[in-house]
Chains A and B, each alone.
Chain A
């Protein structure tokens, strides 16, 4: 999870991502940031995020992102 926070902080500094529960729905990251984040996430964890995962709830908190990453790694 620390790696996810590190990537997120690299895209937008000054946000307490560890405790943020509305990363997308709260407008912390916009659609451009999200695509940048996905590219970094895919490279870091060697996964491919398909359109079926492109939902706000999968990106709204670090724990939700981690759950998605784990699911994709297991698939």
Chain B
């Protein structure tokens, strides 16, 4: 079962019915049962032990860390202890806490790495077997990853580290913690929720609110529109062109553009659906998108795109590296022997490149994903290192950096950089990426844009019209959302307008949604991560 299916809507309606019929204090149990059922229906029941064990390991680890903190606090109250004894106690407890943390991290990250890298290892073993003519064939695609493992591992690790850093107390009830891990709207593709926000929201006991129901339903319809009408239609051409075969450069250029728009409408469409579904139960999920294509710089883009993943890497990878004792030591050493600027650039580059390298690996284990990560790491480091030169350039040429035209130019530049990043991963491997660029530079054939060839790659002319109108609508809504709260604005204009818009949305999804032969709604792009 995928979230873009009739089965999901039936599941959602049934869960909603049970949820609001249940007394308020037990509603979380309905969500827990529904989430377990959804997890089994969306994947396989065999995945259930994996997520349960990860949750259990983290829950037990966090409780032990909390208990050690409480014990230390109690022990330090002893007035007979001198400064040295207190220091020794702190060191002793810190070591116990660290050991617990490392053990649980090794278990969880180990499980994630095994599932992520096993395909690479099997593919390598298969190649070795083929070269040495052993007569053994191993198919790496037969290996399956537990559903949502990248997402739930990150959510639970975030919780464990927060408890370790004493940011909030641990959860005493395992079923409650398990609900946070497996909560069905966020389990497959995120958002990667923080325990102090989602856990509290799930605990509060959700009461019925008409606003939550209508706003939730509106978001679900809008998400269906983005996914079924736009993203899946764009996918018709993108999947046809990125088939590993050479095409005219002009066709690749159009596909690069469509691919960037596709991943946005696909992923943000999914987020609209799951955030809307969660809102029906009165539980607010964290936002993952904030109109990223309005970003003026790459760094800003990544603060607006997949925000919960970016936030996770910032808090649990970038900052820990930046403020680690070895990094500070290195910075101090560099400050003495290098210029101020060089020392600053190194202090930014190391955590930035490490973070982006890991972000690349999170998305995929192939060399193309590693290149993708390094691509962004290097770009952000360069933009930071040459800030002064960029500023001097603007002043030298008298550029008004706040003018509308300059801002637009910066947005277009950021979008092109994003398209460049997509070409590293979308065609499947680096050889295909090289082929795409080779055709763009040596086999452009721009007349294919006008002679009708464009419409022979999965999209027909009417599809083009639907796409233009659909994308214009997304653009207009995004503009409005930058300036105002669109749903509240619709509410203010009365029930009639709201119902007209909702029915129009449903009809648009039914009439213009892509449901043709070979259509597979199960394939949300970010599910593969």
Contacts and interface: CB of A to CB of B under 8 A. Distances in A.
A13 to B, nearest CB: 11
Interface string A32-64: 101110110010000001111011000000000
Of B166, B299, B328, B351, chain A has the most CB atoms within 10 Å of the CB of: B328
Interface string B116-132: 00000000000000000
B352 interface: yes
A32 B383 CA distance: 11
Interface stretch (B46-54, B172-180, B319-327): B319-327
A32 B319 CA distance: 9
A interface secondary structure, majority: helix
B315 A30 contact: no
A57 B314 CA distance: 15
Contacts of B323: 35, 38, 49-51, 54
A42 B344 CA distance: 15
Contacts of A38: 322-323
Contact of A39 (B165, B314, B331): B331
B347 A31 contact: no
A30 B299 contact: yes
Contacts of B318: 31, 35
Contacts of B319: 31, 34-35, 51, 54
Contact of A32 (B165, B328, B331, B352): B352
Contact of B167 (A31, A36, A52): A52
Contacts of B384: 32
B303 interface: yes
Interface of B: 161, 165-167, 299, 303, 314-315, 318-320, 322-323, 328, 331, 344, 347-348, 351-352, 384
Given A30-B299, A35-B323, A36-B347, 12 more contacts: A30-B303, A31-B319, A32-B352, A34-B319, A35-B347, A35-B348, A38-B322, A51-B319, A51-B320, A52-B166, A54-B315, A54-B323
